[in-house]
Chains A and B, each alone.
Chain A
Amino acid sequence: MLRYHTQGYSGYGVQYSPFFDNKVAVATGSNFGLVGNGKLFIIDIDNQGRMLETKSFVTQDGLFDVAWNELHENHVLVAQGDGSLRLFDIQLNDYPVAIFQEHEKEVFSCNWNLINKQLFVSSSWDGTVKVWTPMRQSSLTTLTPKPMTAHNSALSSKDIPMSNQKRHTSLSKNKNCIYQSQFSPHDPNIVMSCAGNSYVTMFDLRQPANANQYSFMAHNGMETLTCDFNKYRSHIIATGGVDNMVKVWDLRMVRKMAANSRQPMSVNEICGHDLAIRKVSWSPHHSNMLLSTSYDMTCRVWQDLSDDGRRPTGKTNSIDPTHGCRFIFSHHTEFVFGADWSLWGQPGYVASTSWDGDVCIWYAFAR
């Protein structure tokens, strides 16, 4: 395991460079990202296996996510707490080369389109998802997930409160928060988002605004904090939420059931973490390997046992004694927020970052 400590900063997001096999970008915030500056670290791994900071940029507010530009090896984008997205050139010092300021509240995620590499997408606590291109200062389009629609088309549509209990009132504040949005790696026009109202929404940028989305409740009304497209099976996604569960969904079934206003069933439920899931990420090298990070201070690697297509139930990993868990990384000493698989070399290397300030690089299939 390799380790780098970001003195005084807590990690929120990490991503391997798509151009260099030894470079990662890390988004962090001071004071656990609750208040104060943020800092973007560019960390290289040298031939001796040491992690060295080669560049850093201090920002005015905490940074919650990071995405490398898929077209330019020196450009890296960050999602900032003041509602802006900033594009930095790691050859330059101090200041960003572009600022994208439209979101009204914290930006929690940013993601670069892997096919149409001119585009990136961001999501914010203001309840919107925005699609951008680095060539323009203003966004190309703003996507707003609709509140859930009523079950029966004969009935008037109405926003359903999550709870009427007083002690849950603070929950409704997070309800609009869109924790993550992501472009499909299979279709450059498909965007997925997940929100505090528990809903995962799929957008199609080719459709007109009133018909461009369908959504489903992923975590029983509890907040859905993260989602990821499977890189090999284009209709498979994973989500993670406050119910401590990772769920795997087949979008073909979801779409069919959502069209009939039915609550879709997941094809797999992975119940192994002790606290909420903060990040899920499918392996770039396997169609059935999944990485998750959690408030329980661990990262876990799961084998999705539902991928053989033979088991009809929605709970396939529950038949495995270990729920399909293949590795537990337990070196972090605080909530783990970010993680990314390495695209490079031997499959199975992972970078993770946590509130403890550590950036760790570890091998997911060690025994």
Chain B
Amino acid sequence: MSERLTQIKDHLISAVSPSVQDQRADDVVIIAAHRSPIARGFKGGFKDVNSDYLVHQFLQEFFKKVPSSLSENKQLIEEVACGNVLNPGAGATEHRAACLAAGIPFSTPFVALNRQCSSGLVAVNDIANKIKVGQIGIGLALGAESMSKNYGPKALGNVSAEMKQNKDAKKCMVPMGITNENVSHKFHVSRQSQDTFAAESHRKAERAISEGLFEDEILPINLPDGTTISTDEGPRKGVTADNLAQLKPAFIPEKGTTTAGNASQISDGVAAVLLARRSIAESMELPILGKYVACQVIGVPPEIMGVGPAYAIPKVLKDCGLAIEKVDVFEINEAFAGQALYCINKLQIPLAKVNPRGGAIALGHPLGCTGARQVATLLRELERGQVGIVSMCVGTGMGAAAVFVRE
């Protein structure tokens, strides 16, 4: 009798309360997520190498971390998507070449993606969608950027005079720093609170480094001169809100609030997230780090693009039937302290849940790499069963957000 009763109960209960923690055979799960150290742009360790070199070196290390059943059968990876912002053509040629050099067979296709600062996350989203619909079973999402080599005036591309005259279109050309000044001014985010937030980012990153919290996450990069870089270069010791307050505004003299100290750093780096359908991961006995749940991107006015996360996060949470309170850690990209603070306050997120190991102000923001880097960081911040969000604002006016569960 009890068996029959339990059966009826199962029919009712599993239907009533689906949750993001449920494990189903057709879930998209994360097998591995790692990143390179993030080096400072123009003067850091990676200043003399191209992004394809970084991808090649990084993937060699990455496959050492993946179980041999997969690293010896790389043809089982059925797609590589690489997010990149600044390389001409988003690095479609040189990053494909780097994948081949790293031992991924030519039969595995490659796609280069560019959705500005969210490119790394969009690569994860792209692979996850392909797994969801059954197009592929295992896929690799990458994010790679060498701002040292490719950041500069040419990054904006050619914009026709017609676009510059159109009052809506020309807003896409507003410099990122000015968009943050717009957000800070419009929504009254003070210079002082921004400096405090930035100093806190450095403090958290420093603490994470000194406690060795990034050790598992970072894979070392060997440089052509024989040196190896294995730690982040961005975080500085002893940064306080007071000494950040000494800096001059970078975009608007006198009245501006955005400085070199409370904005993200120019950096170089690579990150990768390996995803698979759960049924395949389990049949191959691959380790499961976490589960990809959902992703959303939403458009916002380009001149205040920094508000993106404030709209993207509620949108993706609505998809999964979650409330802000149910999320344990938020990795919100710190493009600028002003926009990050606005989003945090608007959504009433407790500060303790945001970027517990520091953000882009301390670690750096290698544009196309950031989204994938945040996934690797987030999964190590979460405890088993906890829910996390990766989110960022996107240049030209967008916000992106994705939900993950640690397993």
A residues apposed to B, CB below 8 Å? 33-35, 81, 106, 148, 150-152, 154-158, 160-165, 168, 170-171, 173-174, 177, 198, 217, 220-223, 225, 242-244, 257, 262-265, 275-276, 278, 295, 335
Chain B residues near A276 (CB-CB < 8 A): 11-12, 15
Which of B4, B8, B133 counts the most A-chain CB atoms under 10 A from its CB?
B4
Chain A residues near B11 (CB-CB < 8 A): 223, 225, 242, 275-276, 278, 295
| Contacting pair B6 A221 (CB below 8 A) | no
- Give chain B interface residues in 1-49, CB to chain A under 8 Å: 1, 3-12, 14-16, 21-26
What is the CA–CA distance of A106 and B8 in the complex, to the nearest angstrom? 14
Q: How far is the CB of A259 from chain B (nearest CB, A)?
A: 13
| Contacting pair B10 A223 (CB below 8 A) | yes
The yes or no answer to B137 lying at the interface (CB within 8 A) is yes
Chain B residues near A106 (CB-CB < 8 A): 4
The yes or no answer to B280 lying at the interface (CB within 8 A) is yes
Which of A148, A177, A221 counts the most B-chain CB atoms under 10 A from its CB?
A221
The yes or no answer to B158 lying at the interface (CB within 8 A) is no
| Contacting pair B76 A152 (CB below 8 A) | yes
State whether A151 and B279 are in contact (beta carbons under 8 Å apart), knowing that A221-B25, A295-B12 are contacts in the complex.
yes
| Contacting pair B25 A160 (CB below 8 A) | yes
The yes or no answer to B283 lying at the interface (CB within 8 A) is yes
The yes or no answer to B93 lying at the interface (CB within 8 A) is no
Q: Which residue of A lies closest to B279 (CB)?
A: A160
Q: Which residue of B lies closest to A172 (CB)?
A: B10
State whether A262 and B4 are in contact (beta carbons under 8 Å apart), knowing that A154-B73, A165-B23, A222-B14 are contacts in the complex.
no
What is the CA–CA distance of A244 and B18 in the complex, to the nearest angstrom? 11
Q: How far is the CB of A223 from chain B (nearest CB, A)?
A: 7
| Contacting pair A220 B24 (CB below 8 A) | yes
9 sample A-B contacts, Cβ–Cβ < 8 Å, listed by A number: A34-B1, A106-B4, A163-B22, A164-B23, A170-B6, A171-B14, A198-B25, A220-B24, A220-B26
The yes or no answer to B174 lying at the interface (CB within 8 A) is no
State whether A263 and B7 are in contact (beta carbons under 8 Å apart), knowing that A152-B137, A160-B282 are contacts in the complex.
no
The yes or no answer to B284 lying at the interface (CB within 8 A) is yes
Chain B residues near A217 (CB-CB < 8 A): 25-26
The yes or no answer to B277 lying at the interface (CB within 8 A) is yes
What is the CA–CA distance of A232 and B283 in the complex, to the nearest angstrom? 39
From B8, B26, B134, give the contact of A257 (CB < 8 A).
B134
Q: How far is the CB of B156 from chain A (nearest CB, A)?
A: 39
| Contacting pair B280 A151 (CB below 8 A) | yes
Chain B residues near A177 (CB-CB < 8 A): 7
| Contacting pair A242 B15 (CB below 8 A) | yes
Chain B residues near A244 (CB-CB < 8 A): 15
| Contacting pair A34 B4 (CB below 8 A) | yes
What is the CA–CA distance of A34 and B9 in the complex, to the nearest angstrom? 12
